A and B are shown apart, each in its own frame.
Chain A
Amino acid sequence: MIANASVSFRKVWKKFRYGEVHDSLRDLIPALGKRLIGRGAAARDLRSGDFWALRDVSFEVVPGEALGIIGPNGAGKSTILKLLTRIVRPTRGSCAVRGRIGALIELSAGFHPDLTGRENVFLQGSIMGMQRREIAGKFDEIVDFAGISDFIDTPVKRYSSGMHARLGFSIAAHLDPDVLIIDEVLSVGDAAFQRKAFGRIEEMRGRQVPLVVVSHQLERIAQLCTHAILLNRGRVVHSGSPRDTIAAYVDSPASSADPIAGDSAVRIESMRVVGSPAIASGTGVSVTLEGTVRPHSTGTREAISLSVSLVETGEVVYSTNTALCGVQLPYEGAFALDLVLQMNVPPSFYSIRSLVWDQLTSREVFPGPSAQVSVVPGTAFSGTVQMNPTLTVRAMPDDSRASAS
């Protein structure tokens, strides 16, 4: 164990129950009695209806570090947050956070609709553990940051949802925590406020405040974190640099379908990225597919379709197929298909998916493998699309300017 760890999770197991907690009053009174005197069944056993939300999870965060936690829904991310914020306690193992915890989670949970913004700032601030002096000292800053100075004496029930969320974030952001815990927080307010909020978080990071971030926004994790862990079904399945961990996540079996047998003539056996899977925005990525065509079949009417989608949202940003590109697959036997895609897309994580498509019946006949690439900021362009600009500079003779006027 590192001596100066701000957050330490050591072999943490957490058990939850499915469904209704108690079936009848008859089961429950003895059970409650036992629990209250602390002599319940041993915690290491799983009874029916129990499941492990976390299994043997360990990690540490020291000042200056930022840990990202990623994983599919139900992997145990929220359970870790609840343990970190001390809402629940571990079944086994230990979990400790040193100092004041600032949690950018449920930012306005303590707001009362009938109270004014001012009254709610003091209420919510106190729920987060601040003393009155401290809140009073930061009050103007909080209100300015939220941008609601004109409405501070209005009951929050008359606030728009954006104002509500901004005020909540602003209070939490002025807590000066020893450890900052963030859950999908940058979905607060409009784009301008999100930038401001992100700036605030980066500023805290700059002050060496240790950070724990849970997010589905993989790009944010890559930007903010110094390392990351990938959870699946309550276990840490990967731990390392954010890029590696994200690559492990998008590569995990849950997100890429294994090739399965279909009735297609064309089969795609493999797909791999040639060279580094980290591509500078605006440059090309080389992908090689290998497959076979069954002899004496309908192979001529089948085409290989390729689509590129954003891992975060699943949005398809580009798709094409061999027929559109004017490429004919061989009539039979093994083949390799080399493909170069120019990644004129903003930095993020992309999934390239292949499938075999029957042009006659317009249906997918074979779900092929996929590959993941990470696009990193490049020098070719910035923005969301590459517009391949054509720029020409012409010298203007002095006399032509004179005649024009």
Chain B
Amino acid sequence: MHFSDDASESLASESLRPDLAVGDEDDEDRPSYWAELRESIVELWRFREMLYQLTLRDIRIRYKQAVIGFGWAIVMPALVVLSGCLLRLAMSQATGSRLDLSSVATLAVKALPWSFFIGTLGAATASLTGNLQLVTKVYFPRATLPLGATLGQLFDAGIGAGVLLIVLPFLGVRPSMALLWIPVLAATLVLLTVAASLFLSCANLFFRDVKYIVQLYLIFGIFFTPVFFEPFAMGARVGRIIMLNPLSVILEGLRLAIVERHDLLVPLVSAAGVQIWSPGYLAYAGIWAVGGFAVSAAIFHRAEFVFAEYV
């Protein structure tokens, strides 16, 4: 019988290429970064079905034997919104202002990407160590495991986004041209999350400490990331420090684009005279996402051939 699949056919002839076939560490002429990147993308493409099946597995087992089923996808962001509302309510009591609908909308807009980010970190960090049986015994591009975990969470985020689409109009959000920034911000967020997933899953395989560090972040990260508050609420200097976190930029960008209907190419100064947005922030987050992805993909690919030896 012969393969009908062209991808595996072409690789069959390619697998004797020196950069794939030779594992000679003695030679200092390692394949270049681009050759390795190309190799890992070719391998991932060959195993795209595995990526799909792993995502499907993650989604299926999360909802098998669960009564609420897919409802669980919105429980986490809904809880974030609820606790944010409580916090805002307490603050409004203290300051004498009232909790308006737009701040509920702001919370909802930020809760979803935040839930996606921490959900993915948790799932991806454990993705290699949770599948040791596979990692030590079977060949496949290892990146499918953290990527599958990310895609599984993305599916949940998709359900959440569908719910937001229905809910936001009731919270006073009107469509505007600024909504076109959502795909850009979402893509930046996904790339940033993938970069963190690749790096953390790989690091956790070598040092189990990473898992505990990630757990701490999952618990306390929300206090250092502007989910419940606006980055510049505590003044320009603190705001600029908070905005060093690329995730802050993405959350703030989403708030401005969706709730404030602000075009992100235009700088924005608050009523108090603090500059709360400039297009530079967007570029900054973009550099983090692309650079972080390039670096973590390289580390991951270089390390993946010793995974089986180091677990």
A residues with a Cβ closer than 8 A to B are: 16-17, 21, 25, 28, 32, 35-36, 38, 42-44, 82, 85-101, 103, 105-106, 109-110, 112, 114-115, 119, 122-123, 126-134, 176, 178
How many angstroms from the CA of A131 to the CA of B23 in the assembled complex?
28
B49 touches A44 (CB 8 A): no
Contact A114 B65 (CB under 8 A): yes
Q: Are A94 and B299 in contact (CB-based, < 8 A)?
A: no
Contact A100 B8 (CB under 8 A): yes
- A119 cross-chain contacts in B, Cβ below 8 A: 56-57, 60
Task: Tell me which of B21, B57, B206 contacts A123 (CB under 8 A).
Answer: B57
Q: Across the two chains, which residue of chain A brings its CB closest to B308? A: A87
- Asked if residues A85 and B65 are in contact (CB atoms below 8 Å), the reply is no
| CB contact under 8 A between A99 and B26, given known A94-B21, A126-B52 | no
A96–B16 contact, CB under 8 A?
yes
Q: Which of B134-142, B216-224, B234-242 contacts A (4 or more CB under 8 A)?
A: B134-142
Q: Is A109 in contact with B133, judged by CB distance below 8 angstroms?
A: yes
A120 CB → nearest B CB, Å: 9
Closest B residue by C-beta to A135: B49
Mind listing 23 A-B residue pairs with CB under 8 Å? Answer: A21-B310, A28-B207, A32-B206, A36-B303, A43-B25, A87-B136, A87-B137, A88-B306, A88-B309, A90-B24, A92-B24, A93-B23, A94-B23, A95-B21, A98-B13, A101-B139, A103-B139, A109-B138, A115-B60, A126-B50, A129-B46, A132-B52, A176-B3
Minimum-distance CB pairs A-B, first 7? A89-B23, A96-B21, A106-B137, A43-B25, A126-B50, A126-B53, A99-B12
Does B305 lie at the interface of the complex (its beta carbon under 8 Å from any beta carbon of A)? yes
Q: Distance (Å) between the CB of B156 and the closest chain A CB?
A: 18
How far apart are A160's CB and chain B's nearest CB, in angstroms?
A: 20
Produce 1/0 per residue, B124-148, CB < 8 A to A: 0000000001101111100000000
**Hey, which chain B residues are within 8 Å of A92, CB to CB?**
24-26
Q: A106-B138, A114-B64, A119-B56 are in contact. List 13 more A-B contacts (CB 8 A).
A: A21-B309, A35-B306, A88-B309, A92-B24, A92-B26, A94-B21, A99-B15, A103-B138, A105-B138, A106-B137, A119-B60, A127-B53, A134-B4
Query: Do A98 and B12 form a contact, CB below 8 Å, given A42-B26, A127-B134, A129-B47?
Result: yes
User: Are B299 and A36 in contact (CB-based, < 8 A)?
Assistant: yes
Residues of chain B with a CB closer than 8 A to A98's CB? 12-13, 15-16
Do A126 and B49 contact each other (CB < 8 Å), given the known contacts A87-B137, A92-B26, A96-B15? yes
Say yes or no: is B174 at the interface (Cβ < 8 Å to chain A): no
* Residue numbers in B under 8 Å from A109 (CB-CB): 133-134, 137-138
Instruction: Identify the closest chain B residue to A90 (Cβ).
Output: B23
A100 and B26 within 8 A (CB): no
CB–CB B3/A100 < 8 A: yes
B257 within 8 A of A: no
Q: Which residue of B lies closest to A86 (CB)?
A: B139
**Complex: A313 Cα to B16 Cα, angstroms:** 40
Bound complex: CA of A110 vs CA of B4, how far in Å? 25
Q: Does B68 contact A (CB under 8 A)?
A: no
Residues of chain A within 8 A (CB-CB) of B50 are 126-127, 129
- Kindly state the separation between the CA atoms of A43 and B23 in the bound complex, as whole angstroms: 11
The answer, yes or no, to whether B302 is at the interface (CB within 8 Å) is yes
Contact A85 B15 (CB under 8 A): no
Shortest beta-carbon distance, B281 to chain A, in Å? 30
Across-interface contacts of A96 in B (CB, < 8 A): 15-16, 20-21
Question: Which of A99, A106, A114, A126 sits near B47, CB closer than 8 Å?
Answer: A126
B54 in the interface, Cβ–Cβ < 8 Å?
yes
Contact B16 A93 (CB under 8 A): no
Cross-interface CB contact of A44 among B3, B23, B26, cutoff 8 Å? B26
> Which residue on B lies nearest to A21, using beta carbons?
B310
**Contact status of A134 and B303, CB under 8 A, knowing A16-B309, A127-B138, A129-B47:** no
| Chain B CB within 10 A, most for which of A35, A88, A122, A126 | A126
Task: For A85, list chain B residues within 8 Å (CB).
Answer: 138-139
Query: Using a CB-CB cutoff of 8 Å, which residues 200-246 of chain B contact chain A?
Result: 206-207
A124 CA / B227 CA spacing, docked (Å): 40
A129-B46, A176-B1 known; A115-B61 Cβ under 8 A:
yes
- How far apart sit A105 and B207, CA to CA, in the bound complex (Å)? 28
Q: List, in ascending order, chain B residues with CB within 8 A of A97's CB.
A: 15
Bound: A113/B1 CA distance, A: 32
The docked-state distance in angstroms from the alpha carbon of A126 to that of B5 is 13
Q: Chain A residues near B1 (CB, 8 Å)?
A: 176
B30 at the interface (CB under 8 A from A): yes
Task: State in angstroms the CA–CA spacing of A105 and B137 once bound together.
Answer: 8
Cβ of B67 under 8 Å from chain A: no
The answer to whether A88 touches B308 (Cβ under 8 A) is: yes
Contact (A88, B5) CB under 8 Å given A103-B138, A130-B49, A178-B12? no
- A132/B134 in contact, CB under 8 A: no
Contact: B61 with A127, CB < 8 Å?
no
Q: How far is the CA of A114 from the CA of B56 in the complex (A)?
A: 13
Closest Cβ of chain B to A277, distance in Å, is 38
Query: For the complex, is B22 an interface residue (Cβ under 8 Å from A)?
Result: yes
Pair A94/B22 contact, Cβ less than 8 Å: yes
Query: Once the chains are docked, how many angstroms separate the CA of A96 from the CA of B65?
Result: 45
Least CB separation from B311: chain A residue: A21
Residues of B33-92 contacting chain A, CB below 8 A: 46-47, 49-50, 52-54, 56-57, 60-61, 64-65
Question: Which residue of chain B has the shortest Cβ distance to A138 in the bound complex?
Answer: B1
Measured in the bound complex, the distance between the Cα atoms of B139 and A128 in whole Å is: 8
Shortest Cβ gap from A89 to chain B (Å): 3
Q: Are the C-beta atoms of A88 and B305 separated by less than 8 Å?
A: yes
CA distance A130 to B140 in the complex (A): 11
Within the complex, which residue of A44, A89, A132 is in contact with B305, where a contact is CB–CB below 8 Å? A89
A106 CB contacts on chain B under 8 angstroms: 133, 137-138
Q: How far is the CB of B54 from chain A (nearest CB, A)?
A: 7
Min CB gap B137→A, angstroms: 4
- Docked Cα-Cα span, A98 to B20, in Å, equals 11
Q: How far is the CA of A380 from the CA of B137 in the complex (A)?
A: 45
With a 10 A CB-CB cut-off, give which of A89, A94, A176 has the most chain B CB atoms. A89
Please indicate the chain B residues that have their CB under 8 angstroms from the CB of A128 in the complex: 138
Alpha-carbon distance between A367 and B44 when the two chains are bound, in angstroms: 59
A132 touches which one: B23, B26, B49 (CB < 8 A)?
A: B49
Return A182 CB to nearest CB of chain B, in Å.
14
CB neighbours (8 Å) of B24 from chain A are 90, 92-94
CB neighbours (8 Å) of B54 from chain A are 123, 126
Q: What B residues does A94 contact at CB under 8 A?
A: 21-24
Cα of A25 to Cα of B206 in the assembled complex, Å:
11
